[in-house]
């Protein structure tokens, strides 16, 4: 595991972009989200990929399947074959201790002959102060090189967060 970059956000920001992901070196990337605070309740954290070094990010064609659960015993499935993002952290609150944490593996970003896949795990507190969790996967079914990653919320700004991107070194 080799750190590529950590970004610390301390005031309202619309997105966190990683534009030097070293996709020509790493076949697998690892993205961590620590202590995510939202600007308002019940927003969805997500990622988008870019094939032009972050000048623009793909906003359609993603597929995702996520299992969500809460400490109240409720469980739900979110699945779609037509999204504008890959789902990451679902419906957190924004009160003082309603934070979220998550990690995501991203596969094949630098391989122009393969689709880009993800797997993720997340946890946090929703607007009722209830523990929530999620796990799932996503894909952008386009065989192309993806060389930038955007972490964002669906409709509000990120109040604060630490986001780190790592490359997983292959040994032969």
Give all strands (DSSP E) within 10-147, no chain letters. Answer: 15-18, 28-38, 43-50, 62-70, 75-83, 86-92, 100-107, 116-125, 131-140
Model confidence pLDDT, tens digit, residues 106-161: 999 999 999 999 999 999 888 888 899 999 999 999 999 999 999 998 878 898 99
* Distance (Å, whole) CA 60 – CA 130: 31
Model confidence pLDDT, tens digit, residues 70-93: 999 999 999 999 999 998 887 777
């Amino acid at each position: 595991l080799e750190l590529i970059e950590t970004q610390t956000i301390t005031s309202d920001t619309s997105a966190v972009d990683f534009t030097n992901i070293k996709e020509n070196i790493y076949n697998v990337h690892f993205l961590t989200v620590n202590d995510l605070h939202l600007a308002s309740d019940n927003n969805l954290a997500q990622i988008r990929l870019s094939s032009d070094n972050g000048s623009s990010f793909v906003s359609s064609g993603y597929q995702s399947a996520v299992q969500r659960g809460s400490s109240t015993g409720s469980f739900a499935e979110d699945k779609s074959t037509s999204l504008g993002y890959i789902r990451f952290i679902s419906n957190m609150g924004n009160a003082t201790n309603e934070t979220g944490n998550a990690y995501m593996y991203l596969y094949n970003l630098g391989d122009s002959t393969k689709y880009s896949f993800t797997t993720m795990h997340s946890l946090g507190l929703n607007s009722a102060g209830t523990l929530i969790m999620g796990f799932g996967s996503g894909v952008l079914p386009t065989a192309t090189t993806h060389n930038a990653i955007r972490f964002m919320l669906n409709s509000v700004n990120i109040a604060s967060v630490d986001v780190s991107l790592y490359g997983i070194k292959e040994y032969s």
